[in-house]
Structure 1
Amino acid sequence: MPPFDIPEGDPFGPHNLPYGVFSPSGSQERTVGVRLGDHVLDAGAAARALGSPHAGLLARPSLDALLAAGRPVWSDVRRAMREWVTTPEHQEALAPCFHPLSTVTLHLPFQVADYVDFYSSEHHARNVGQIFRPDAEDSLTPNWKHLPIGYHGRSGTVVVSGTDVVRPSGQRKAPADAAPVFGPSIRLDIEAEVGFVVGVPSELGSPVPLDGFREHVFGLCLLNDWSARDIQAWEYVPLGPFLGKSFATSVSAWITPLEALEEARVTPPERTHPLLPYLDDSGAGPGGYDLRISVAINGKVVAEPPFSTMYWTAAQQLAQMTVNGASLRTGDLYGSGTVSGPSENQRGSLLELTWNGRDPLELPEGKRTFLEDGDVVTLSAWAPGPDGTRIGLGDVTGRVVPA
């Protein structure tokens, strides 16, 4: 039966309605879908069945047209979707438009234009500093409290949840080695992150201010920034991440619109340094999001990083990456950086969880410092919703396969 009567407490009820792209069972055609419970609503078919003016926008093989349409349209479509799935009179017309989630194939929901990744958790940055610069007076770099640090990644290797991740190969050199060697990474890691999806583009030469965030960003998703720590350590000086990051970035098949997360907005941590005007959000209201993330390896939860602790907000990140006049494109994706909290069980990477391999994790399959072939990593999350409900974010899963 189509899910007109959602069980109480379902995190994918009418209060959520994330967007994705799917192919029905037995078909290779892709179309926009909206998740409701354990079903997927064919958004284009539903719009046609109910005579919606948005039918042409939703009957597409990707979310790109919807992303580019802008916030007034995003709000109209979401309002219509919620009315469609909660009005009993629509049930007969909508019933043929639902597909069981277990029977469909999910795809990367939008064409990724540019990809940027940040480094915005103070707890993560301090842990990394303590691991690699234990004798430094301050574990943070001098610029960290003044701007969101980031790097430009590779959009062509962003993959949808469920895609296998091939263990990358490259140069690596341990401190005691006389010369570098080439081969598969032996320190393969994950980074639990949140990705933000840009809808409306901006003009080259025109920075996007803090208050432009909600006009340009459509929604968010979970993101796993796979990292080959040994390749990264040898290559990153002086220009930063390169091959140790660019082999794969996994994202959820479901994009949660910002409008679904109004109840989850929170004030970010207190700023300890004065900010330049373009980053000063002191009067901007709650710019953070209360997202409760879980990291599981082979089914066992190993960490629960809280996104509410992120020092730099998504609006500040957007302002930083455009302040030099860089333009936005529909489908731009930017990652929050690894999400870590103050407790040991809130660290969003194996680098931190095992303290660079010093303290192995105990799993049913044995000890882990970094990932082994066959390991399956799953990120999941929820956020507070209206009236005590939960907003579920789509999982991100990836299995490591040999080089």
Structure 2
Amino acid sequence: MSDVVIIGGGIVGCATALHLKQADAALEVVVLEPDPTYAEAATSRASGGVRQLFSRPENIALSQYTLDVIHAWPETAGIDGQPPPDLHWQRRGYLFIATPEHAEILAANLLVQREHGVRADWLDPPTIEERYRAIHAADLGGGVLSPNDGWLDPHAFLQGLRAKARHLGSRFLDERAVGVEMAVNAVRGVDLASGHRLRADAVVNAAGCWAPALAAAAGMPVPVEPMLRLEHTVDLPPDVLPGFAALPFVKDGDGLAIHPEGSGLSVGLVDFDAPGGFDTAADPGYFERVVWPALVHRCPGLDRLRLHATSSGLYDQNRLDGNAVIGNWPGRLDNYYLACGFSGHGLMHALGVGRALAELILHGSYRTIDLERFGYARILRREPYAEHGIR
């Protein structure tokens, strides 16, 4: 019998296990992760970005907690005096840019961000072009720069949290959850592909793209589905590279995302209208047909780049509003907790969500960041709680 069984050993599952054990070392915490190599996990294929540029206070606060952990990483993830994996943290900032018709939304979001403690600046188009000469800004209405944000190595982040959670006593099993044992208004255990069953006082479903099926099995269907995302790495000519090496993480309203990586760039442009599914086969012409024209428009010097590689992965996309579904169903299913539908924000918000879930499980309420508006009740009511002009 376990106190808590966590389905999914990615970044959210590891963060939840870590916070549970930090809160109560005596808890029996079991994490189920069928692939300890994380070859297909969303965490390993993430871009690694951590930003505060959101419009919803909850998302801002979740990112701020992650930044606190990054800044205290040796103390957070170090074990017996040994340093944790190097995060290769790049504190180069985030720059959100918008065309004139969307600049007003960006400016309104900036007021919310500053109200919640975000250091961020408004940049008009001439300032953007002067500061970042690689960016074409003549057709923009402005941008917002958060200089304290940046990006890290997702694999190192995951491995550091996993190792610390194990060090504190969490058990990781190479098992796949295939269902749950139900009782009246409660889940009693988790059924495994091996044929075994784990009894549990509480169950956390942090299975990413596989979470919706397990949620439905417990009577909590969610409008979440796998959505393909492609990450392209491009090599730049030596005469062009200096103009891009100092860029922040740049995002525009259409989903184009650019940040320096090695001797080139990492580029993404998600097709949010694509149908959901587990097919990760990349369209070989997508970069040349869709991504490259958008990239060259925004950064004219990139007409001579060379595509180095394309990797594919999946978002657990919440089709209702693009925000995570966190928590239980009070009064109906008290001991089954969801953590899914992050829509690309899982890595940067996992730590705060893991702490919040530990609070719900141990205290029955949030003690730090109130995530009530991300709860399951909004799914039942079909009431979106979406970001404004931000993805």
TM-score interval (norm. to shorter): under 0.3
- TM-score under structure 2 length normalisation: 0.23
- TM-score under structure 1 length normalisation: 0.22
